[in-house]
Amino acid sequence: MDPMDPVPWEDVIAVRGVPGEELQPFIQRDVPDLDGLAPADAVKTVYDDWTETLGEERTLDDQGAAYLIAYLLEHRGVIDLAAADAFGGSLLERKPDDERLRELFHDEERTLWWIAVDCGVHYALVSRWLYEADIPLLERNLGEETRAKLAARAE
């Protein structure tokens, strides 16, 4: 496969899941306890629950998880990063619209890392944005293990 070949989300999800989805059960469980907490404390509550519960079974790195938790909480309206000026402001407002995201990723061939730096976020959050916009990842974005699983799945 060519490194620039798109890989449908259906295939990616089948072998490695939805970006950030491992955090959703913890967000769901912890939301009732987050009312009135500062955004950083709310994120830390979910983050601590996630790390303590999954331990070494976590698939996200710590910084990526923190950004995803903050984004998912903001997206649900649980925290207001813009009003609190936490995490450098709203993560929702940093997300390029779907068309611009597609242009950056596919037309301009920007990497996840480049988009992340440009938007002031972690590349794990950029993956989530691509998923939400149904913009396929590229072969170059997949690790060796994921590529092997995809190949085995195709057989």
The predicted model scores a pTM of 0.93
Backbone angles phi, psi at 138, to 5 degrees: -110, 155
Give the C-alpha separation, 111 to 109, whole Å. Answer: 6
* Boundaries of every domain in the chain: 6-154
60-80 residue pLDDT tens: 999 999 999 999 999 999 999
Instruction: Please tell me the predicted confidence (pLDDT) of residue 49.
Output: 98
Q: Which of 5, 1, 8 is nearest to 136 (CA)?
A: 8
Does the pLDDT of residue 87 top 80, yes or no?
no
